């Protein structure tokens, strides 16, 4: 599914957090958004599933099109939008429920009550994140007993269970050690065959390893958006070059 923004501006009260963002994200690619802390990259990500609606005093202008539909138009079904555009958060935040109930949460919200169907969904979702073989006999255990990496995988499985088409990932590896990070990255490369992935990351190496296209943001502006290769080897903007070569940020 294609994601497009045109003239996107976002204000927190009087603070201008996103300035004239124009970008176009292609299907079945991993798009990385990089930039220093506070540059607005997480805010941008949270525009795509309208998570910013939960914050008071947020105002958005301009257009955000997902699958050619304006997500801020009054006829847009917010709940359907959030089902289509799933999100993985920074911290692995499983609910204090069993592994099974965590993954079944979304489908249950969507009205699936049949036990067999639910079990199929849970098994399929766990298999998609390579957790099924590990957790097969332990679905009734608390999800909070899992390691951080497994919890993050579980959170991704929980998301896949509602059959989204776009995955937003907000620094999904920042709470993980390098080995776990590597495993989640492998998973993302697998998932990109079926899903469109937008990942916000602090970690430039990570963006270089997995992203196909990269956007660099600074102080609320999208400075440069291009193929990862171009951004990391031959950026057109001096600020991008300074950032990726570690001069600031």
Partner 1 sequence: MTFRIGPRTSQIIAHIILLLMTIVTVIVLFFIIGYVFKNGFAQLSLEFLTDRTREMGKEGGILPSIIGTLFITVLAIIIATPLGVGSAVYLVEYTRGGLLRKIISFGADCLAGVPSIIFGLFGFIFFVIQLKLGWSILSGSLTLAVMIIPTIIRTSEEAIKAVPQSYREISYSLGGGKLDTILKVVLPTSLPGILTGVILGIGRAIGETAAVIFTAGSSLGMPTSVFSSTRTLAVHFYILAREGISMPKAYGTATVLIIIILFVNLVAYRLMHRFMAKYY
Interface residues toward partner 1, by CB under 8 A: 49, 51, 54, 56, 79-80, 82-83, 86-87, 89, 91, 93, 95-98, 105-106, 108-110, 142-144, 155, 158-159, 162
Nearest distance from residue 161's CB to partner 1, in Å? Answer: 8
Using H for helix, E for strand and C for coil, what is the string for 163-180? CCCEEEEECCCCCCCHHH
**CA separation for the pair 64, 70 (Å, rounded):** 6
Q: Which of 12/241 has CB closer to partner 1?
A: 12
Q: Which is nearer to partner 1, 12 or 95 (CB)?
A: 95
5 vs 98, which CB is nearer to partner 1?
Answer: 98
Q: How far is the CB of 171 from partner 1 (least distance, A)?
A: 14
Q: Distance between CA atoms of 41 and 170, rounded to whole angstroms?
A: 9
Main-chain phi, psi angles of 70, to 5 degrees: -75, 115
Least Cβ distance, residue 97 to partner 1 (angstroms): 6
| Closest approach of partner 1 to the CB of residue 142, in Å | 4
**Rounded to whole angstroms, how far apart are CA atoms 82 and 94?**
18
- Largest alpha-carbon pair distance within the chain? 57
CB-nearer residue toward partner 1: 110 or 233: 110
Shortest Cβ distance from residue 79 to partner 1 (Å)? Answer: 5
Q: Which residue has the tokens 């692995």?
A: 92
Distance CA 43, CA 24 (A): 17
Helix (DSSP H) and strand (DSSP E) numbers for the chain: 10, 10
Indicate the residue among 33 and 223 with the shorter CB distance to partner 1. Answer: 33
Query: Is 71:168 a contact under the CB 8 Å cutoff?
Result: no
Planar angle of CA 231, 236, 240, nearest 5 degrees: 60
Q: Which is nearer to partner 1, 97 or 208 (CB)?
A: 97
Q: CB of 164: closest distance to partner 1 in angstroms?
A: 9
């Amino acid at each position: 599914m294609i994601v497009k923004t045109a003239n996107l501006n976002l204000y927190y009260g009087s603070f201008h957090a996103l300035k004239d963002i124009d970008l176009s994200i292609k299907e079945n690619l991993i798009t990385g958004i990089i930039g220093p802390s506070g540059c607005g990259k997480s805010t941008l990500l949270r525009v795509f599933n309208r998570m910013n609606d939960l914050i008071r005093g947020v105002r958005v202008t301009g257009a955000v099109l997902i699958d050619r539909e304006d997500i801020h138009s009054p006829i847009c079904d917010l709940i359907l939008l959030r089902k289509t555009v799933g999100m993985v958060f920074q911290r692995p935040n499983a609910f204090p429920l069993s592994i099974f109930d965590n993954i079944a949460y979304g489908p249950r919200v969507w009205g699936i009550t049949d036990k067999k169907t639910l079990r199929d969904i849970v098994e399929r979702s766990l298999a998609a994140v390579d957790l099924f073989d590990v957790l097969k006999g332990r679905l009734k255990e608390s999800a909070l007993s899992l390691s951080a990496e497994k919890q993050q995988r579980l959170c991704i499985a929980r998301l896949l269970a509602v059959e989204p088409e776009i995955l937003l990932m907000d620094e999904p590896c920042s709470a993980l050690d390098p080995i776990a990070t590597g495993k989640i990255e492998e998973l993302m490369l697998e998932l990109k065959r079926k899903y469109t992935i937008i990942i916000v990351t602090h970690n430039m190496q990570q963006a270089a390893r997995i992203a196909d296209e990269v956007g660099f943001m600074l102080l609320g502006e999208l400075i440069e958006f291009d193929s990862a290769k171009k951004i990391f080897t031959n950026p057109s903007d001096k600020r991008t070059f300074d950032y990726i070569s570690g001069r600031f940020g």
